Amino acid sequence: MRTPLIAGNWKMHKTVAQSERFISGLLPLLYAADGVEVGICVPYTDLQAMVDSARGSRVEVYAQNMHEAPEGAFTGEISAEMLTEIDVHGVVLGHSERREFFNETDTALAEKLLAARAAGLAAILCVGETEDQRTDGATESVLKRQLERGLALLDAEALAELVIAYEPVWAIGTGAVATAEQAQEACAFIRSRVAVIDAAAAESVRILYGGSVKADNAAELLALPDVDGALVGGASLEPESFAAIIGAAVS
Ligand code: 13P
């Protein structure tokens, strides 16, 4: 049995004061979220405050990126150890916005996944095709390439504990959520690609769907056999809408 994970990706939203207001609004809404793992992926400046405020709750705090090197001359970057030192639980890697706007490559992501693993950070690897790639019938070849390259350095144990988020780029922030059929097909394909590397890991790896997940479409997506949770953007910014999505994951 795979534990469902609902993770909110705030992207570049919320000052520390705003994040504190959010978490005090969210925690009282989670009394009935048994059996669901909850994550918030927050800007670097909010990490310490959210780790402190979420301590003892079911909410785990994730960074939205990190550098693969342990330290060095990489101005503006953050290492895995800098995150674990302040008790950050995990990190989101390879979000399509980082791939598109910050030249994130699959090769760097393989190194980042390895560094996160070595530091004891949980990792959520994002993959997904653009609208043009889907129209061209290239969805599976894009996912296959991103997974082959991104997962290249992980052993089976690391793979089993990994979280992979399928986020079709055309569904992010557009309101154009994937149909249940599209989400299931892509997530099953991702699991089949993990099985090529290690069959047992494919049974354990958790696969999230992301892209315009809202309170009113979450239940249908979360009921799909190969969808183990959701990575939520816009709807994770308000405690009420985020809690409603978490509620949809309670079985
Ligand atoms: P939206 O839920 O706003 O479409 O964003 C999805 C996303 O990119 C989560 O990482």
Q: What per-residue confidence (pLDDT) applies to 122?
A: 98
Instruction: Please compute, for residue 117, the number of CA atoms within 13 A of its CA located in the half-sphere on the CB side.
Output: 19
Q: How confident is the model at residue 251 (pLDDT cuts 50, 70, 90)?
A: confident
Residue 185's pLDDT is 98
Residue 246, CA distances (Å) to 10, 39, 135, 168, 196 in order: 15, 10, 32, 21, 31
Convert the pLDDT of each residue in 20-33 to its tens digit: 999 999 999 999 89
Q: Reply yes or no on whether 89 is catalytic.
A: no
- pLDDT(171) > 90: yes
Give the count of domains, the chain. 1
**pTM here?**
0.97
Ligand 1 atom nearest the C-alpha of 174 is 4
Dist. CA 36–CA 62, nearest whole Å: 16
Question: Which of 65, 93, 101, 167 is the best mutation target for the ligand 1 pocket, counting ligand atoms within 8 Å of the beta carbon and taking the most?
Answer: 167
What's the whole-number mean pLDDT along residues 155-183? 96
Q: What percent of the chain has pLDDT over 70?
A: 100
- Domain with 25 in it: 5-248
Helices (H), 27-150: 44-54, 80-85, 96-101, 106-119, 131-135, 139-150
- The proportion of the chain whose per-residue pLDDT surpasses 90, expressed as a percent, equals 98
Give the pLDDT of residue 1: 84
* Predicted local distance difference test score (pLDDT) of residue 76: 97
Mean pLDDT of 47-72: 98
Return the pLDDT at 82: 98
Q: Which of 68, 95, 97, 129 is catalytic?
A: 95
13 is catalytic: no
CB contact at 8 A, 3 and 206: yes
Q: What is the CATH number of the domain that holds 30?
A: 3.20.20.70
pLDDT score, position 199: 97
Local confidence band at 242 (pLDDT 50, 70, 90 cut-offs): very high
pLDDT tops 90 at residue 53: yes
The Cα–Cα gap between 158 and 116 comes to 10
**Gap between the Cα atoms of 149 and 165, Å rounded:** 16
Return mean pLDDT, the chain. Answer: 97
Mean pLDDT to the nearest integer, 172-197: 96
Residue in the block written with tokens 């889907």: 134
